[in-house]
Amino acid sequence: MRSSRIAGLGHFVPERIVTNDDLAELIDTSNEWIVQRTGIEQRRWVDGDVGPADLALQASKDALEEAGLSAKDLDMIIFATLSPDINFPGSSCLLQKSLGVPGVATLDIRNQCTGFVYALSVADQFIKTGMMNHILVVGGEVHSSGMDMTNRGRDVTVLFGDGAGAAVLTVADDESCILDSKLHADGSNYDVLMLELPASRLNPRLSPEMLDEGRHYPQMDGRKVFRNAVTELPKVVTEVLEANGYTTEDIDLLIPHQANLRINQMAARTLGLREDQVFNNIQKYGNTTAASIPIALHEAVEAGLIKKGDLVVLAAFGAGLTWGANLIRW
Ligand code: UT7
């Protein structure tokens, strides 16, 4: 049976740093509130007309270079995003154009913060079956152009940042591989965290009245999302470990989705993990949704926190609701 392995990683964030104090000049919030509730100290925001496929281009080039491959070697590009550059076609097509490789298959994954975990699992299946050999998996987001910059949206606006991360998957040639993935969703809670408009279920999809109501901005019941995250994150980590005969003691590094430092600390406590078993970088980037795990994974590798043979778990939860985990032998 074939397996897949991550052969290259890359990430890219915009240069512009937006601190909590910068936000406090725009809306009624404070550095203390944001740091205390979320751990976020700053985030990166794009300047002008920049989309997630633009951010993903440099991350993808770096991941390809590390993998020793050219874009022409790719069989497919999978792009996980909740903030696609345009409504359709998908950001994977835009990235494919920038990489200059017409003919390569493209796929967009719309699983919000769990998008990269789902995308990695999908890519892994295509390589396992032998249908494909080299797949670029990207998580990329631009949130800053879609935030409510009034007090109405302050609970959401302070959380999100822009960025992209990329991984190149190839056929494994030794024990380094993606061992397993567990994926879940609960659509009965789709409206707990959503961006409704423009909505094709409405006719018209968008009207001045709807804009006045702010329905083109993300809406979130933060407490519900928080409760779900601290319950499901530890459960899915345990599930993927147990299914493969491991316990939390075997984890060398857990890379949780970066939505809230408090969520990750509570999940780590529930799992009985030491601080050095969990990687967080939300302080610098805020929540970059589908991009948060590949950015964090790349930073952890660059910092020398992951070495060959280590057992690594990626775990995420988010809108949908969706949650899931990948188990990787590095
Ligand atoms: O990837 C998944 C994405 N989302 C998440 O993971 C979010 C999960 N949820 C959370 O992280 C937390 O629920 C938040 C950080 C969003 C909010 O923290 P909380 O402790 O649940 O606060 P809250 O929503 O209950 O609000 C507490 C107070 C309210 O004021 P009152 O009613 O007590 O007077 C809010 O109006 O804080 C107020 N508030 C703010 N104050 C200053 C809400 N947003 C802000 C803000 N600055 N930005």
Query: How far is Cα 329 from Cα 324, in angstroms, rounded to an integer?
Result: 17
Q: Would you say the CB of residue 29 lies under 6 angstroms from ligand 1?
A: yes
pLDDT surpassing 90 at residue 324: yes
Cβ 258 vs Cβ 225: under 8 Å: no
Active site residues: 113, 257, 287
Query: What are residue 126's phi and psi, to 5 degrees?
Result: -65, -35
Q: Which atom of ligand 1 is nearest to the CA of 316?
A: 1
CA 112 / ligand 1 centre spacing (Å): 20
pLDDT surpassing 90 at residue 1: no
The model's pTM: 0.97
Q: Would you say the CB of residue 20 lies under 6 angstroms from ligand 1?
A: no
Count of positions (residues) in the chain: 330
CA 28 / ligand 1 centre spacing (Å): 13
CA 159 / ligand 1 centre spacing (Å): 10
Tokens representing residue 256 in the block: 């949780």
Four-CA torsion 26, 31, 37, 39, nearest 10 degrees: 110
DSSP string, 245-270: T--GGG-SEEEE--S-HHHHHHHHHH
How do residues 261-316 score in pLDDT, each as one tens digit?
999 999 999 999 999 999 999 999 999 999 999 999 999 999 999 999 999 999 99
Distances 36 to 223, 252, 317 between C-alpha atoms, Å? 15, 28, 21
- Nearest-CA residue for ligand 1 atom 16 is 222
CA 69 / ligand 1 centre spacing (Å): 44
How do residues 77-109 score in pLDDT, each as one tens digit?
999 999 999 999 999 999 999 999 999 999 999
Q: Would you say the CB of residue 153 lies under 6 angstroms from ligand 1?
A: no
How do residues 190-249 score in pLDDT, each as one tens digit?
999 999 999 999 999 999 999 999 999 999 999 999 999 999 999 999 999 999 999 999
The H or E element that residue 223 is part of is helix 222-242
From 18, 28, 37, the mutation candidate for ligand 1 (largest count of ligand atoms within 8 A of CB) is 37
**What are the chain's domains?**
4-174 (3.40.47.10), 178-279+303-329 (3.40.47.10)
- Residue 20 C-alpha from the chain's centroid: 22
Cis bond leading into 89, ω under 30°? yes
Cβ 7 vs Cβ 170: under 8 Å: yes
Coil/strand/helix, residue 310: coil
